[in-house]
């Protein structure tokens, strides 16, 4: 399963009484390679943890891992928000977003021309930079902002997560306890689109992990099903219970990939498994299995265990974001 990420930022200079002096509007920014690595884990839990600004004027490059010339970290986070584009039947993509607004004070006289998000921050020399952008005018030209003593800077960062709604077909090999092998076709489809209980907007920008915490009861377990997968707005049919455990592979920097193994023990799913539900912080997925010879479900009884492998990948999203603000 693959998903894409994109980011935007908006810089507003205000007087301390709240009067707006300058508003750049929303502009796209670059996800750095280190930003994509954030989603693999090990670099903090929240990509929105810190906003950093600097005086560098070099164009962003994917391989950068620091601002060119650090100036300051945000004083506070003023607001958080989230949302999604409405899903319509026939859509090819589903887009969700989450944002934070950061406030910078006491930096009058400093020249500010670059900005980024940092998921971890220790000092101006030690932080994990995830995104970087040059500040631009509403017309799209790079600019430098210099605050006066009675002015503050507010920066809103919005992270988009974009899901391809087309089914993904692949195959897996099931091995029994005596070494026999059988190939199965698998079809993966997004699940819970448009359902508030799926919590897509709340999870946008989180590091990859299994998710049994944020979603409603429908989506908070790695369930097995006797029936086929549903539409992208639903889940498979005939729930047979939850998996015993879920294991994630270690993350390799630069791979933008993690493998997951879902384990069903002797007491889990005592009947043939047609489908499974896979809730993660990168979306909820439903996967249907059928043997290549006869489209039979995966055999499972109280005498069998079953391990289902899945690979997740992510990348930058380069398409339009359809921003209306």
149-177 pLDDT, tens per residue?
A: 999 999 999 999 999 999 999 998 887 76
Higher confidence at residue 211 or residue 296?
296
Q: What pLDDT does residue 179 have? A: 67
Best CA proximity match to 191, nearest among 238, 229, 143 = 229
What's the whole-number mean pLDDT along residues 54-80? 96
Give the whole-number percent of the chain exceeding pLDDT 70. Answer: 97
For position 178, what pLDDT does the model report? 63
Q: Which letter, b or e, does each residue of 223-261 get, where b requires 16 or more Cβ atoms within 10 Å of its Cβ? A: bbbbeebbebebbbeebbbbbbebebeebeeeebebebe
Q: Which of 85, 41, 11 minimizes the C-alpha distance to 249?
A: 41
Residue 47's pLDDT band (cuts 50, 70, 90): very high
pLDDT at 177 (0 to 100): 66
Q: Give the global pTM.
A: 0.92
- Banded model confidence at residue 1, pLDDT cuts 50, 70, 90: low
Round to whole Å and give the CA distance between 287 and 171. 11
Q: Which helix (H) or strand (E) holds 190?
A: strand 181-190
45 has pLDDT over 90: no
pLDDT value at residue 323: 56
Give the pLDDT of residue 213: 78
Residue 324 has pLDDT above 60, yes or no: no
pLDDT of residue 2: 76
**Averaged pLDDT score across all residues of the chain:** 92
Residue 113's SS3 state is coil
Higher pLDDT, 1 or 187: 187
For 30-39, 85-94, 181-190, 228-237, which range has the lowest pLDDT when averaged over its residues? 85-94
User: pLDDT band for position 215 (50/70/90)?
Assistant: confident
């Amino acid at each position: 399963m693959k998903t894409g990420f994109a980011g935007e930022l908006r810089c507003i200079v205000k007087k301390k009484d709240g009067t707006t002096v300058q508003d750049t509007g929303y502009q796209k920014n670059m996800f750095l390679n280190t930003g994509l690595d954030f989603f693999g884990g090990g670099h903090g839990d929240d990509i929105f943890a810190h906003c950093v600004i600097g005086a560098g004027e070099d164009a962003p490059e994917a391989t950068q891992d620091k601002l060119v010339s650090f100036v300051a970290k945000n004083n506070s986070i003023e607001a958080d928000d989230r949302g999604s584009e409405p899903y319509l039947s026939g859509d090819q993509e589903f887009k969700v977003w989450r944002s934070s607004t950061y406030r910078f004070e006491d930096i009058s006289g400093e020249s500010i021309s670059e900005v980024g998000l940092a998921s971890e921050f220790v000092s101006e020399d030690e932080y994990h930079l995830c995104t970087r952008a040059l500040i631009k005018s509403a017309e799209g030209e790079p600019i430098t902002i210099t605050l006066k003593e009675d002015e503050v800077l507010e920066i809103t960062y919005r992270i988009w997560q974009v899901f391809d709604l087309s089914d993904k077909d692949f195959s897996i090999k099931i091995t029994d306890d005596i070494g026999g092998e059988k190939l199965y076709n698998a079809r993966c489809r997004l699940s819970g689109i448009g359902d508030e209980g799926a919590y897509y907007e709340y999870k946008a920008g989180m590091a990859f992990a299994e998710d049994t915490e944020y979603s409603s009861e429908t989506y908070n377990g790695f369930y097995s099903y006797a029936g086929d997968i549903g539409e992208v707005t639903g889940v498979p049919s005939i729930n047979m219970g939850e998996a015993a455990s879920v294991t994630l592979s270690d993350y390799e920097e630069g791979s933008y990939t993690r493998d997951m193994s879902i384990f069903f023990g002797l007491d889990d799913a005592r009947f043939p498994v047609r489908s499974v539900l896979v809730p993660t912080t990168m979306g909820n997925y439903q996967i249907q299995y059928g043997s290549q010879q006869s489209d039979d479900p995966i055999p499972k009884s109280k005498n069998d265990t079953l391990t289902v492998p899945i690979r997740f990948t992510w990348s930058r999203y380069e398409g339009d974001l359809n921003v209306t603000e």
